Amino acid sequence: MIKPDLNQALPAELGSLHFVGIGGSGMSGIARLFLAAGHRVTGSDRSENHNTEDLRALGATISIGHDASNLGDADTLVYTGALWPDNPEYLLARDRGIPTLHRSQALAWLINKQRLIAVAGAHGKTTSTGMIVTALLELGEDPSFVNGGVIQSLGVSAASGTGELFVVEADESDGTFLLYDTAVALITNVDADHLDHYGSHEAFDEAFVTFARNASELVVVSSDDPGAIRVTAALRDKRILTFGEAETADVRVHSIGTEGPVSFVLNWQGHDYPGALRVPGKHNAINAAGAFAVLVGLGFEPENALAGIAGFTGTERRFELHGIVRGVSVYDDYAHHPTEVAAALAAARSVVGEGRIIAVHQPHLYSRTQLMAGDFASTYERLADYTVVLDVFGAREDPVPGVTGALVSEKFEDKGRVAYLPDWQQAADHAASVAREGDIIMTLSCGDVYRIVPQILASLSATSAI
């Protein structure tokens, strides 16, 4: 991967932009905003998807496959963190001396002087961002936004608004969330991840401290997460609102009902405000508390803020139902860290009733798999009824000898509840054969595991349960 230069001065003008990896959820959203701002946009990606199709319809020129000729006469190249430094389009841009910007740098340029709400944290960013955007629209605001996933009720992950507010999901994975001129910072949690970049838990914490200190108006931070508590303790002379289940939280969530779509009560300034969501899972009640804290911190009335959040219907790749075949529901979820997996499986448990959960786990990153194989195994063994493990999706990393999905399956105590099947068709057939009416099959990863979903649905149609 290419490590962005966070000290790089941004050009006064970007002109026409070429996006390498334009089909990704984050990159496509930023490209959409540049198109809306009147810039000429070109791009490339390894394969077609609905993002590339949508961007073409908006006027972008997109090439499939990476080749130096794709750069054309672009004035600026924008790259994703997953890009390798030998990419021919990137190398040509460097040879020509045109600006090469990480996507977060391009976004920081685009935000300019707008009032920024930046949402960061190891988990819950996309959902929390979606809740805030949905609520602001329900409240009559017209924010600009860039989210890491498509907000289902809006059908997009990004849009340009006419209001002063700009809401972004801020990526902590490579430190680029420190680029933004943030007004309101929401920290969902500081559960150590991306240690391949930061090197230590302490450095990871310190990045969040810096992120919070940079917020000019308000810091909204979890009262429950140990890392977030450490960050809060390091802050001085900041307006802070905490949220969570802790008795001391400024926005305290309690009376959480987790059967089906989640219900809860938020206590704010001595008053209880009952709420309900259209999405399941205790974690989403806590996400709602964080979004609520942002909104009341901005001055919105509590009842109106909670009603706005209630309009949120979810984001793509977050507990997303893809189909039901012979009574088996097939979901996909972006969860790729043990904490996220636990939350996703708990949400599934709240809706599966008497049925079982068959998880299909695609390990993401060799470094994470090597470090957390045991944590993944214990989480799946505790919360799923059966687990199929695929091979590692390496993303931006080179393969590490000996690091495969087998590292996870070998950590299971009960080997009868897990199968390591790197062949996707075998994995789909096996998951379908295990499932019976009333069960949930759930794919989990931020890699490309969603691509196996059609195979699972087809296998369910063709296979009788055992």
Q: Could you say which of 80, 129, 141, 169 is catalytic?
A: 169
- Residue 199 and residue 300 in one domain: yes
- Residue 98 and residue 132 in one domain: no
Domain that residue 224 falls in: 113-309
Answer whether residue 11 is part of any domain: no
pTM: 0.76
Q: Which two tokens stand for residue 402?
A: 């000996």
- Residue 129 and residue 54 in one domain: no
**Catalytic: 169?**
yes
Q: Which two tokens stand for residue 116?
A: 């920024």
**Catalytic: 238?**
no
Q: How confident is the model at residue 3 (pLDDT cuts 50, 70, 90)?
A: confident
Domain count, the chain: 3
pLDDT mean over 191-218:
81
Supply φ then ψ for residue 182, to 5 degrees: -90, 135
The enclosing H or E element of 440 equals strand 440-444
Supply φ then ψ for residue 387, to 5 degrees: -135, 130
Residue at a domain's end among 102, 133, 165: 102
Tell me the pLDDT tens digit for each residue of 328-371: 999 999 888 888 899 889 888 888 889 999 999 999 989 889 99
- Residue 359 and residue 277 in one domain: no
The enclosing H or E element of 276 equals strand 271-280
**Catalytic: 125?**
yes
Question: What gap in Å lies between CA 297 and CA 143, rounded to an integer?
Answer: 16
- Residue 70 and residue 212 in one domain: no
Answer whether residue 130 is part of any domain: yes
Q: Could you say which of 42, 76, 126, 232 is catalytic?
A: 126
- Residue 260 and residue 332 in one domain: no
- Residue 274 and residue 324 in one domain: no
CATH number at residue 51: 3.40.50.720
Answer whether residue 226 is part of any domain: yes
pLDDT value at residue 466: 46
Residue at a domain's end among 309, 333, 360: 309
pLDDT value at residue 465: 47
H helix intervals, 112-160 = 125-138
Answer whether residue 9 is part of any domain: no
Question: What gap in Å lies between CA 402 and CA 411, rounded to an integer?
Answer: 15
Residue 228's contacts (CB-CB under 8 Å, 6 or more residues apart) are 121, 187, 188, 189, 190, 208, 221, 222
- Residue 282 and residue 331 in one domain: no
Q: Could you say which of 52, 80, 89, 125 is catalytic?
A: 125
- Residue 35 and residue 84 in one domain: yes
List the one residue out of 191, 339, 349, 341 whose CA is nearest residue 262: 349
Q: How confident is the model at residue 274 (pLDDT cuts 50, 70, 90)?
A: very high
